[in-house]
Amino acid sequence: MSKILKPKDIPEEEFILSGTRACSGCGLSLAYRFALKALGKNTIITVPASCSTVLHGMYPCAAVNLPMLNTAFESTGASASGIRAALNILGKKDITVLAWAGDGGTTDIGIQSLSGAAERGTDIIYACYDNEAYMNTGTQRSGSTPFGAYTTTTPSGKKQRRKNMPKIMAAHGIPYVATANAVYPIDLFQKFRRAKDEFKGDTRYIHIFSPCPPGWGFEPQDLIKIGKLGTETGIWDLYEIINGKFTLNNITMKIVQGKIKRKPVVDYFRAQKRFNTLSNNAIRRIQEEIDKKFQEYENSFA
Ligand SMILES: Cc1ncc(C[n+]2csc(CCOP(=O)(O)OP(=O)(O)O)c2C)c(N)n1
Ligand code: SF4
Ligand SMILES: [Mg+2]
C-alpha cells in the first residue's frame, strides 16, 4: 500500500451520530465509522436488513448523517446499481455509492445481485462487514460462519468451511478487492480511500472482519483484543487484490516478513464461547492449515 497514514490524517468529521442502537463493543460500528470518514459527505449508502438497520434506528430518526436507503435483504447490489444509474442520469458522477451489507446479505441471499453488479462493472463500493452469522435475527449460521462455530442453527459447531467471498469477488475481474479488520481502523480507512480515489468508475469490494460480542461470546471490552487475535493468529489476513495482483498488508505482511511473531490459533478460539465445542484435535488441524498457508506466503513475499 502507498504511504501509511497516521491518526492525525483521519478527518475529525463524524457521519455516525451519538446514540446508535448497536450493542456495546460492536465491531461493525467501529468499521462503519471509519469507512464513512474515508468516503466523506458526497456519499449515498444503501443497506439491507441487518444489524446496520438496527444501528441506524427507526424512522423518522437515523443515526447516520448521510443519505441512506434501506433495501430488501437480497437486493443490495441491485439497489446500489439503481442509485448509480439515477446519479449518472443526473450528471452526479462524483457521488460515491456505498453498498454496506452483512455476511448473510452478501455471501448468501445477496450474492446474485452483487455478482451482477460486479459483472457489469457498476461504479459502486460494496462493503461486507462480516460478523460471521445472521446476528440481527439472533445468530443463525451464514455461508461465512467459520468451521466449528456455535450458532443457533449449528448447536454443535458448524460442520462446513466458510466461503471465501473476497476471492469470489476477485474472480469477477474487478480492479480492487481488499480485506480489512474493524480493529485496525487506519488500515480500513486507507482501503476505503483507495477504493474511492484510485478505482472510481468500476466495482470495488472490501470485506471487513467485524467481531460481535453477543454472537461470538466475549465481553464488549475485549473487542480490540479479539479483533487483533484474528489477524495475529493468521485466521483473518489483511490483503489487497489490485487488478488481479495479490499483496499482503499491515500486520499480516509483518508476520510474513518476521517482524511480528504469529500467535497460536488456540488463543483466538479459546477466547470465544462460540468455539466451546471445537475439539483440541480440530484446533491442531486448523493450526496446520494456517502454518501451511503462511509457508506459501513466505515463499511468495518474504
Ligand atoms: C428475504 C428475507 N429473509 C429473511 C429476512 C430476515 N432477516 C433480516 S436481517 C437477517 C440477518 C442478516 O444477517 P447479516 O446479513 O449477516 O447481517 P447482520 O444481522 O449479521 O448484521 C435476516 C435473516 C429478511 N429481512 N428478508
Ligand atoms: S449483534 Fe453484534 S453486530 Fe449486531 S449490533 Fe450487536 S455487536 Fe454489533
Ligand atoms: Mg452477519
Q: Which of 217, 211, 249, 247 is nearest to 229 (CA)?
A: 211
Q: How many Å apart are CA 63 and CA 44, to the nearest integer?
A: 14
Query: How far, in Å, is the centroid of ligand 3 from the Cα of 43?
Result: 23
The single residue listed with the C-alpha cell 436488513 is 49
Nearest ligand for residue 182 CA: 2
Query: How far, in Å, is the centroid of ligand 2 from the Cα of 23?
Result: 5
As beta bridge partners, residue 207 has: 128, 179
Q: What is the per-residue pLDDT for 2?
A: 64
Query: How far, in Å, is the centroid of ligand 2 from the Cα of 217?
Result: 11
Q: What is the per-residue pLDDT for 1?
A: 56
Q: What is the position in ligand 1's atom list of the atom closest to the CA of 52?
A: 21
Q: How many Å apart are CA 124 and CA 46, to the nearest integer?
A: 11
Query: How far, in Å, is the centroid of ligand 3 from the Cα of 92?
Result: 32
Most ligand 2 atoms within 8 A of CB, residue of 16, 212, 218 to mutate: 212
Q: How many Å apart are CA 240 and CA 177, to the nearest integer?
A: 6
Q: What is the per-residue pLDDT for 3?
A: 75
Query: How far, in Å, is the centroid of ligand 1 from the Cα of 129?
Result: 13
**What is the number of helices (H) and of strands (E) in the chain?**
12, 8
Q: What is the position in ligand 1's atom list of the atom closest to the CA of 50?
A: 19
User: Which residue type occupies 148?
Assistant: G
Domain ranges, ordered by start, for the chain: 11-301
User: Which residue type occupies 210?
Assistant: S
- Measured in degrees and rounded to the nearest 5, phi and psi for residue 218 equal -140, 165
Crossing angle of helices 223-232 and 27-39, in 10° steps, is 80
Query: How far, in Å, is the centroid of ligand 3 from the Cα of 200?
Result: 27
Most ligand 2 atoms within 8 A of CB, residue of 16, 21, 26 to mutate: 26
Mind spelling out the 3-state secondary structure of 103-123? HHHHHHCCHHHHHHHHHCCCC
Per-residue pLDDT of the chain (302 residues; tens, 9 = 90+): 567 789 999 999 999 998 899 999 999 999 999 999 999 999 999 999 999 999 999 888 889 999 999 999 999 999 999 999 999 999 999 999 999 999 999 999 999 999 999 999 999 999 999 999 999 999 999 999 999 999 999 999 999 999 999 999 999 999 999 999 999 999 999 999 999 999 999 999 999 999 999 999 999 999 999 999 999 999 999 999 999 999 999 999 999 999 999 999 999 999 999 999 999 999 999 999 999 999 999 999 97
Is the Cα torsion angle 184, 232, 149, 218 positive or negative in sign? negative
Q: Which of 56, 53, 50, 24 is nearest to 213 (CA)?
A: 24
What phi-psi label fits residue 57: left (phi over 0), alpha (psi between -120 and 50 degrees) or beta?
left
Q: How many Å apart are CA 143 and CA 160, to the nearest integer?
A: 9
- Measured from the Cβ of residue 168, the count of other Cβ atoms closer than 10 Å reads 18
Query: How far, in Å, is the centroid of ligand 3 from the Cα of 108?
Result: 10
Q: Which three cell numbers stand for residue 67?
A: 443519505
At CA 76, angle to CA 74 and CA 79, rounded to 5?
Answer: 115
Q: Whose CA is nearest to atom 22 of ligand 1?
A: 137
Question: What are the residues whose beta carbons fall under 8 Å from the beta carbon of 82, sequence distance 6 or more?
Answer: none
Give the CATH architecture of domain 11-301.
Answer: 3-Layer(aba) Sandwich (3.40)
- Measured in degrees and rounded to the nearest 5, phi and psi for residue 136 equal -55, -30
Q: What is the position in ligand 1's atom list of the atom closest to the CA of 53?
A: 21
Q: What is the position in ligand 1's atom list of the atom closest to the CA of 74?
A: 1
- Measured in degrees and rounded to the nearest 5, phi and psi for residue 233 equal -90, -10
Most ligand 1 atoms within 8 A of CB, residue of 30, 32, 51 to mutate: 51
User: Which residue type occupies 10?
Assistant: I
> For the whole prediction, is pTM greater than 0.85?
yes
Q: How many Å apart are CA 49 and CA 85, to the nearest integer?
A: 22
Q: What is the per-residue pLDDT for 229?
A: 98
